[in-house]
Amino acid sequence: MIRAAIIVAGGSGSRMGAPLAKQFIPLGGVPILMHTLRAFHAFDASMQLILVLPEKDKEFWEDLCRQHQFRLPHQVVAGGQSRFQSVRNGLASVREERTLVAIHDGVRPFVAQEVIRQSFEEADRSGSAIPVVPLKDSLRKVEADGQSVFQDRQAFRLVQTPQTFQVARIKKAFLVAESAAFTDDATVYEHQGWQVNLISGDPNNIKITTPEDLRYAEFLIGSRIV
């Protein structure tokens, strides 16, 4: 397996209510995004790491790297107007010899090495690997008239990243026109008629988007759970 990882970090931080974009907020004294990049580098130091950032944030990121003496090898690519466009830009930078690519949210810094390993192994075997976790709470569907209907939570899963694919397939999938139906990379892949394959995710692989998420992330860092 010759691997690559695309780390997508285009958030604005509006839900965080912070002046900094969420991917740059310090966690344990280090910007969240640096933790995320380190997780993939720790798994495979030869992996091609592609960081997709808004063009306006590139200089700020370079300043942060100098400030924190962050020298981990990675390539910075300008993002697009949407996540779909940003991922497509990242895929264009994946080297031709790479056979597998993981696409990951920049604000999921606690991705476990085991999840990364399983994602690449399953994608190598079947074409795709999507980490999911079961729901803990009861689930209800709200209809257009405001009425709600019970849903069996056993039939649903929460989707995480990295979403990992064979490079040739996911590049082909992203040649289509963007659609509102594409909520993640798996739905773009699925649009080709290909089955997505699920693997076990990790409850600690949280996406940090709100102040509550950040407080839990600080707990995870402080307690050395991850």
Give the CATH number of the domain where residue 179 resides: 3.90.550.10
Nearest in space to 34 (alpha carbons), one of 64, 79, 77: 64
User: 2-16, 144-158, 201-215: lowest mean pLDDT where?
Assistant: 2-16
User: What is the arithmetic mean of pLDDT over 2-29?
Assistant: 83
| Position 219 in a domain | yes
State the pLDDT at residue 129.
98
Token pair, residue 152, equals 């069996």
State the pLDDT at residue 226.
46
Token pair, residue 223, equals 């307690």
Contact by Cβ (8 Å): 106, 83: no
pLDDT per residue as tens digits for the range 45-85:
999 999 999 999 999 999 999 999 999 999 999 999 999 99
Would you say residue 42 has pLDDT above 90? yes
Q: pTM for this structure?
A: 0.94
User: 71-75, 94-98, 182-186: lowest mean pLDDT where?
Assistant: 94-98
User: 5-14, 136-145, 148-157, 211-220: lowest mean pLDDT where?
Assistant: 5-14
User: What is the arithmetic mean of pLDDT over 153-158?
Assistant: 95
Q: Cis bond leading into 54, ω under 30°?
A: no
State the pLDDT at residue 14.
57
| Position 141 in a domain | no
| Position 147 in a domain | no
| Position 209 in a domain | yes
Distance of alpha carbon 41 from alpha carbon 43, whole angstroms:
5
Q: How confident is the model at residue 223 (pLDDT cuts 50, 70, 90)?
A: confident
| Position 162 in a domain | yes
Distance of alpha carbon 34 from alpha carbon 152, whole angstroms:
38
Q: In 3-state terms, what secondary structure has residue 5?
A: strand
Residue 194 lies in domain:
3-130+157-223
State the pLDDT at residue 99.
96
Q: How confident is the model at residue 16 (pLDDT cuts 50, 70, 90)?
A: low
State the pLDDT at residue 224.
63
User: Number of structural domains, the chain?
Assistant: 1
Torsion angle defined by CA atoms of residues 181, 167, 5 and 216, in that order, rounded to the nearest 10 degrees: 40
- Kindly give the interhelix angle for 113-126 and 32-43, rounded to the nearest 10 degrees: 60
In terms of DSSP bridges, do strands 48-53 and 3-8 run parallel, antiparallel, or are they unpaired? parallel
